[in-house]
Chains A and B, each alone.
Chain A
Amino acid sequence: MSEPTFDLTYIWAAIIAFGVIMYVLMDGFDLGQGILFMFAPSEHDRDIMMNSVAPVWDGNETWLVLGGAGLLAAFPLVYTIFLPALYIGVFLLLAGLIFRGVAFEFRFKAHSSKYLWNWSFAIGSTVASFAQGAVVGAYIQGFETENMRYVGGALDWLTPFTILTGLGLVAGYALLGSTWLIMKSEGATQQWAYRLVKPLLAIVLIIFGIISVWTPFVDEFVAERWFSGFSAIWLLPILGLACAYWIFSSVNKKREGSPFVATMGLFIFTYLGLLASKWPYVVPPNYTLADAASAHESQLFLLLGLLFVIPIVLVYTAWTYWVFRGKVKADQGYH
């Protein structure tokens, strides 16, 4: 094989990184509805919560499946080490997503069995969110590998640290969900959502704070990166905190759209901070992007199709959100 003229690995890294944050932001706010679901004051609020995400949630999960398949094609080592290492967690994630997905389908059709689908939606969403947070924690921790294989135990991913990151993401998604709900609802439901934001923001900041302090102790590489002199990456947590303040002030001013935008900002800067901590390692502590990449011709073969499809998916997604703009009412979307 001739040496590739142009390395596609970094293009693929950008695509996957983009897919992940798209997934986190978009599925985040609808998972958030599930996390908050059983805390809602009334069935009426639950109807509004579900309706506020019903037309878009499955498109949001598209990014997860696309990311999974894309990983196998572009960075097989990530796929074949993460999945065995997170074996039990992946099961919980999938089971959670299945139960909440089915709840979306059947709750609209159910009458006397509605409570069943309520719980299915709430528990499924919470478990799936926790599992995703634990994945992030496991990624920070790193994996025990030998000769490109995972050699650790079944529950290595479940440590106090990953439990904390799991809870952190549950709180984070709940925050995204509550600010989304402010934007999409009115009246009593919106008032309830407003009341949720500050306590959730406090929990998120506390947990994110503990994680940030803890991470350098979990991983020396991260400590080295952040504390070996000041660099531009310190801008990221500062911008993150600025977003947190923006959430706080915009809720005080009873803004409707800004809290959600600010929460997305908080997520984006946290995410970039995480990437900056680990770059260029994708399977810490041993393997970099280049180690994990698939063959050039395989990356190219799939890229051709993806370049054609991603714009279509983006346009379709944008169109769906556009059609669905404005406030949601309880009696729309089911009967």
Chain B
Amino acid sequence: MELDPLLLSRIQFAFVVSFHAIFPVFTIGLASYVAVIYGLAFKTNDPKWERLGAFWTQVFAVVFGMGVVSGIVMSFQFGTNWSNFSLATANFLGPVLSYEVITAFFLEAAFLGVLLFGRGKVPNGVHFFAALMVSIGTFISSFWILSANSWMQTPAGVEVHDGIYHVVDWAAAIFNDSFWYRFAHMALASFLTGGFVVAGVSAWFLIQKRDTELHRKALSMTLWLLLFLTPLQVFIGDLHGLNTLKHQPTKVAAMEGNWETQTGAPLLLFAIPDQEQQKNHFEVGIPKLASYVLTHDWNGELPGVKEKPPELQPNVPIVFWSFRIMVAMGLLMVLVSVVGLFLRRKRAYMNSRWYLQTLRLMTLSPFIAVLAGWFVTEVGRAPYLIYGQMTHAEGVTPSLTGGMSLFTLIGYFLVYACVFAAGAYYLTRVIRGGTESTEQHEDDKHRAKRPLSAAEASFD
């Protein structure tokens, strides 16, 4: 079989970016949570918040460290595998991605050290301020990344001369048509990730009957938050979908498994899309519902995938099923949050073992939803890298061979497998360490000012 460098490059990018994406969504949500906890600590002067803050700061440190490591790889992918794309778009993407790097470094240089190592050494107010700045910094970082991604989905503010993009309007390019939807959707996704991880870990501590009073407080707080955020995310997701329908109708058609343009399109609950035959098998759907959701009219017209010739269609089965997984996870999150509200009477949620176990399992749900969501939006815009303007085939590095891309694909896979197995293993040790003792007990002047140094657990 001939090795296709284009396909292998896409797989490699999907692999490294999926792996990387897990960490930022986690850290962004967690940073905000840590800021809230230290805010409470500052306001109430209650040592229990200090304790909780210190625990989650350690978790944050480990995840942040892993995110930084995997992020370094990302910044080179554009050049190694997508050099034609990089050359064409450098005038816009270069500064935007550099601003992300600058933000991250500024944040790390100025505030992360104070957050991780400054407890007890700087006034509580200053420490809280550092936590707040770190959480704002993570948002600014994601702002730039999502601006770059949104620009590739809905390019604006640029002119092309001799195959090179030139920015004529920075505001239009940065705040392009799909930016705010994507940013809001991702910001909420990060909050939900942080929320479900905190809920799951608190539930685990409650099952273990460790430090129960503290984790009850944490869980209660988090469940209130999730009760509001989960439905809000469904709402924002819907707006994002409508925006996509406007700019990338074929993507929405693939999400709905809708091959032919039709009025009164059904909402498919199950189907096996067949790209070859350009139709679905075993369709089970609710009549007219897709049209209603997307056009707010039972007989609204929904564009079909077949509006585009086969070579300009995305992979419908992947988009269709990724979308269903994401939505299913979203609805499950809403359900679990609402059940939590009903269990509030007599604090039943804290003693109900099955509910705590459910929360524990739900820890994975936001990660699955986030990855599935990115698969929808990224696979769904295929074959375009820059929507409607540059295809993957045009953007890939011309000198790249199948052998080269296979070598690095396997290579990155092995590196990540080693490194992140160690990281995940260590993370579980930090969490098992618990909140009972999170005292920093040494002069850390000579210690690495590295994120992981903030964690106290031993590796083996």
Interface residues of A (CB under 8 A from B): 1, 51, 54-55, 57-59, 62, 65-66, 68-70, 72-74, 76-77, 79-85, 87-88, 90-91, 94-95, 97-99, 101-102, 104-106, 108-113, 148-154, 294-295, 297-298, 301-302, 305-306, 309, 312-313, 316, 320, 323-324, 328, 332-335
How far, in whole Å, are A81 and B80 apart by their CA atoms in the complex?
9
Which of A68, A72, A95, A113 has the largest number of chain B CB atoms within 10 A? A72
If the complex has contacts A1-B166, A54-B447, A65-B72, are A84 and B98 also in contact, measured as CB distance less than 8 A? no
11 more contacts with CB within 8 A, not counting A87-B408, A334-B447, are: A55-B446, A69-B100, A70-B98, A73-B98, A76-B90, A79-B86, A88-B407, A108-B448, A149-B83, A151-B398, A312-B110
Contacting pair B415 A98 (CB below 8 A): yes
A58 contact set on B, CB distance < 8 A:
448-450
How far, in whole Å, are A58 and B65 apart by their CA atoms in the complex?
11
Q: Is B230's beta carbon under 8 Å from chain A?
A: no
Report the minimal beta-carbon distance from B224 to chain A, rounded to whole angstroms: 35
Of the candidates B87, B94, B459, the one whose C-beta lies within 8 Å of that of A106 is: B459
Q: Which residue of A lies closest to B418 (CB)?
A: A99
Q: Is B123's beta carbon under 8 Å from chain A?
A: no
Which of A82, A84, A334 has the largest number of chain B CB atoms within 10 A? A84
B397 contact set on A, CB distance < 8 A:
84, 87, 150
If the complex has contacts A55-B446, A80-B87, A298-B92, are A154 and B426 also in contact, measured as CB distance less than 8 A? no
Q: Which residue of B lies closest to A144 (CB)?
A: B399
Of the candidates A88, A91, A298, A313, the one whose C-beta lies within 8 Å of that of B105 is: A313
Q: Which residue of B lies closest to A300 (CB)?
A: B95
Contacting pair B109 A316 (CB below 8 A): yes
Contacting pair A98 B419 (CB below 8 A): yes
Contacting pair B452 A105 (CB below 8 A): yes
Q: Is B106's beta carbon under 8 Å from chain A?
A: yes
Contacting pair A99 B419 (CB below 8 A): yes
Interface residues of B (CB under 8 A from A): 65, 69, 72-73, 75-76, 78-80, 83-84, 86-87, 90-95, 97-102, 105-106, 109-110, 164, 166-167, 170, 397-401, 403-404, 407-408, 411-412, 415, 418-419, 422-423, 426, 442, 444-453, 455, 457-460
Q: Which residue of A lies closest to B163 (CB)?
A: A148
Contacting pair B419 A332 (CB below 8 A): no
11 pairs of residues in contact across A and B, judged by CB atoms under 8 Å: A55-B448, A72-B90, A72-B97, A81-B83, A109-B458, A149-B87, A153-B399, A301-B167, A309-B105, A313-B105, A320-B449
Of the candidates B78, B164, B408, the one whose C-beta lies within 8 Å of that of A72 is: B78
B100 contact set on A, CB distance < 8 A:
69
Contacting pair A87 B99 (CB below 8 A): no
A153 contact set on B, CB distance < 8 A:
399
Contacting pair B457 A335 (CB below 8 A): no
If the complex has contacts A72-B98, A154-B404, A298-B92, are A84 and B79 also in contact, measured as CB distance less than 8 A? yes
Of the candidates B95, B398, B404, B457, the one whose C-beta lies within 8 Å of that of A87 is: B404
Report the minimal beta-carbon distance from B2 to chain A, rounded to whole angstroms: 16
Contacting pair B94 A69 (CB below 8 A): yes
If the complex has contacts A72-B90, A90-B80, A297-B167, are A109 and B102 also in contact, measured as CB distance less than 8 A? no
Contacting pair B79 A72 (CB below 8 A): yes
A57 contact set on B, CB distance < 8 A:
448
Report the minimal beta-carbon distance from A176 to chain B, rounded to whole angstroms: 19
Report the minimal beta-carbon distance from B149 to chain A, rounded to whole angstroms: 16
B403 contact set on A, CB distance < 8 A:
154
Of the candidates B87, B91, B401, B426, the one whose C-beta lies within 8 Å of that of A298 is: B91
Report the minimal beta-carbon distance from B65 to chain A, rounded to whole angstroms: 6
Report the minimal beta-carbon distance from A256 to chain B, rounded to whole angstroms: 18
How far, in whole Å, are A57 and B422 apart by their CA atoms in the complex?
21
Contacting pair B102 A65 (CB below 8 A): no
Contacting pair B94 A302 (CB below 8 A): yes
How far, in whole Å, are A1 and B407 apart by their CA atoms in the complex?
43
Contacting pair A298 B167 (CB below 8 A): yes
A104 contact set on B, CB distance < 8 A:
448, 450
How far, in whole Å, are A295 and B162 apart by their CA atoms in the complex?
13
If the complex has contacts A1-B166, A83-B79, A149-B83, are A97 and B106 also in contact, measured as CB distance less than 8 A? no
Contacting pair B419 A69 (CB below 8 A): no
Of the candidates A94, A151, A313, the one whose C-beta lies within 8 Å of that of B109 is: A313
A109 contact set on B, CB distance < 8 A:
426, 452, 455, 457-460
If the complex has contacts A79-B79, A305-B102, A333-B447, are A110 and B460 also in contact, measured as CB distance less than 8 A? yes
A66 contact set on B, CB distance < 8 A:
101-102, 105
Of the candidates A54, A80, A305, A332, the one whose C-beta lies within 8 Å of that of B83 is: A80
A77 contact set on B, CB distance < 8 A:
87
Report the minimal beta-carbon distance from A138 to chain B, rounded to whole angstroms: 14
Report the minimal beta-carbon distance from A252 to chain B, rounded to whole angstroms: 30
If the complex has contacts A73-B90, A99-B415, A324-B446, are A84 and B106 also in contact, measured as CB distance less than 8 A? no
How far, in whole Å, are A109 and B98 apart by their CA atoms in the complex?
33
B83 contact set on A, CB distance < 8 A:
79-81, 83-84, 149-150
4 A-B pairs with least C-beta separation: A73-B94, A83-B79, A76-B90, A109-B459
Of the candidates B73, B170, B408, B426, the one whose C-beta lies within 8 Å of that of A88 is: B408
How far, in whole Å, are A309 and B422 apart by their CA atoms in the complex?
34
Of the candidates B166, B399, B401, B455, the one whose C-beta lies within 8 Å of that of A151 is: B399
Contacting pair A94 B86 (CB below 8 A): no
Contacting pair B446 A87 (CB below 8 A): no
Contacting pair B110 A91 (CB below 8 A): no
If the complex has contacts A105-B450, A113-B459, A316-B109, are A82 and B79 also in contact, measured as CB distance less than 8 A? yes
Q: Which residue of A lies closest to B109 (CB)?
A: A316
B447 contact set on A, CB distance < 8 A:
54-55, 108, 332-334
If the complex has contacts A83-B80, A111-B458, are A102 and B106 also in contact, measured as CB distance less than 8 A? no
A148 contact set on B, CB distance < 8 A:
87
How far, in whole Å, are A290 and B452 apart by their CA atoms in the complex?
42
How far, in whole Å, are A333 and B442 apart by their CA atoms in the complex?
9
How far, in whole Å, are A51 and B79 apart by their CA atoms in the complex?
34
How far, in whole Å, are A54 and B449 apart by their CA atoms in the complex?
8
Contacting pair A298 B453 (CB below 8 A): no
Report the minimal beta-carbon distance from B348 to chain A, rounded to whole angstroms: 40
How far, in whole Å, are A317 and B333 apart by their CA atoms in the complex?
44
Report the minimal beta-carbon distance from B90 to chain A, rounded to whole angstroms: 3
How far, in whole Å, are A333 and B449 apart by their CA atoms in the complex?
10
Q: Which residue of A lies closest to B420 (CB)?
A: A102
Contacting pair A98 B69 (CB below 8 A): yes
Report the minimal beta-carbon distance from A302 to chain B, rounded to whole angstroms: 4
A150 contact set on B, CB distance < 8 A:
83, 397-399
If the complex has contacts A72-B78, A80-B90, A298-B92, are A54 and B448 also in contact, measured as CB distance less than 8 A? yes
Contacting pair B399 A298 (CB below 8 A): no
How far, in whole Å, are A54 and B398 apart by their CA atoms in the complex?
40
How far, in whole Å, are A95 and B97 apart by their CA atoms in the complex?
22
A101 contact set on B, CB distance < 8 A:
69
Contacting pair B448 A72 (CB below 8 A): no
Q: Which residue of B lies closest to A74 (CB)?
A: B94
Q: Which residue of A lies closest to B85 (CB)?
A: A80
If the complex has contacts A76-B86, A333-B446, are A102 and B69 also in contact, measured as CB distance less than 8 A? yes
